[in-house]
Structure 1
Amino acid sequence: MQKLNFPSFEFRFKNTKNKLAIFDIIRKKFIQLTPEEWVRQHVVHDLIYNKNYPEQLINVEKVIKINDLIKRYDVVVFKPNGTILLLIECKAPQIKISQNTFDQIARYNLLLQADLLYITNGLNHYYCQMDFELEQYHFLPELPLYILKP
């Protein structure tokens, strides 16, 4: 798999029926290793091991319904109260991050109402803070560390 713009992590792999799989520590199972999954697993490991986001608050690849369409988000991080802190959209490394990618995560966020947005293809990372009052987002230089506020 391609080297990504993340620190190095230890991953578990297995080969079944000539298909390589990677162990997802959130879903607790092996997932077929695609370029997008490679990015997603790096994101999850980075959240937990470098940014201090609690593993139990992270959710991966769940179905949501937007305007009667079935969609699937990549990663969310919940707050302890159950609202969403962070919505993450992962693309394969060969996919360029475009305005369409930002539009996609913005559509998802109309429903999910996350405070922070994170878009990555594993090579380029974009972080945004939502301003719901002005209905816009502001770019951040990096993803904030997880700090539990009372």
Structure 2
Amino acid sequence: MIPIIFPPSNFKVRFNEKTSNDEIFDLIRKKWLVLTPEEWVRQNFVNYLVTSLNYPASLIALEKGIKVGELNKRFDIVVYNNQAQPVLLIECKAPDVVLNQNTVQQILSYKSVLNASYLIITNGHYTYGFYTDSQMVEQITEIPVF
């Protein structure tokens, strides 16, 4: 397991009276989003990447569509290097979702398309990471700093 302590944040949160939903402003996508439990994990994890691990926000993409075989899927977080190659692939789940083999299979299917070296799964309470290359998958105990 990778120990993660989310740093303090100054998220903008509001209540949308039209939809009766709490919303959070996403600094990467520059828009208001419904504040679901999974979105809370995603926003805190992005804040952790930028604040604690020094990843530039400009190298982070959130919830983009990809084609996995015949299926249209959406990844949660991808961090690119300066050459625009995926380096970190992160799958976020709501805090009450157990991280299991299905979560690992999901991120591995995304890796088959994006080919990131580091795979991270998190529900905000628990975070697991893996380093992969063409020959092996190895569990890691920390996420590399930018």
> Is the Cα–Cα contact under 8 Å of residues 131 and 138 in structure 1 kept in the other structure?
no
> Is the Cα–Cα contact under 8 Å of residues 92 and 121 in structure 1 kept in the other structure?
yes
How far residue 102 of structure 1 moved from its aligned partner, in angstroms, is 0.5
How far residue 8 of structure 1 moved from its aligned partner, in angstroms, is 2.6
* Counterpart for residue 133 of structure 2: 131
Alpha-carbon separation, structure 2, partners of 1:93 and 1:112: 25
> Is the Cα–Cα contact under 8 Å of residues 7 and 47 in structure 2 kept in the other structure?
no
Alpha-carbon separation, structure 2, partners of 1:10 and 1:139: 32
Task: Extract unaligned runs of 5+ from structure 1.
Answer: none
Which residue, out of 50, 68, 71, partners 1:69? 71
How far residue 52 of structure 1 moved from its aligned partner, in angstroms, is 0.3
Q: Which 4+ residue blocks in structure 1 deviate beyond 3 angstroms?
A: none
Structure 1, residues 25-83: CA drift from partner, whole Å, max 9, x if none? Answer: 10011110000000000010000000000110000000101111010000000111111
* Counterpart for residue 145 of structure 1: 145
> TM-score, length-normalised on structure 1?
0.90
CA RMSD of aligned residues (A): 1.2
SS of structure 2 residue aligned to 1:11? coil
Percent identity over the alignment is 43
> TM-score, length-normalised on structure 2?
0.93
SS of structure 2 residue aligned to 1:96? coil
Task: Extract unaligned runs of 5+ from structure 2.
Answer: none
* Counterpart for residue 79 of structure 1: 81
How far residue 5 of structure 1 moved from its aligned partner, in angstroms, is 5.0
> Is the Cα–Cα contact under 8 Å of residues 121 and 127 in structure 2 kept in the other structure?
yes
- Which structure has more relative contact order (CA 8 Å, sep 6+)? It is 2
Aligned residues: 141
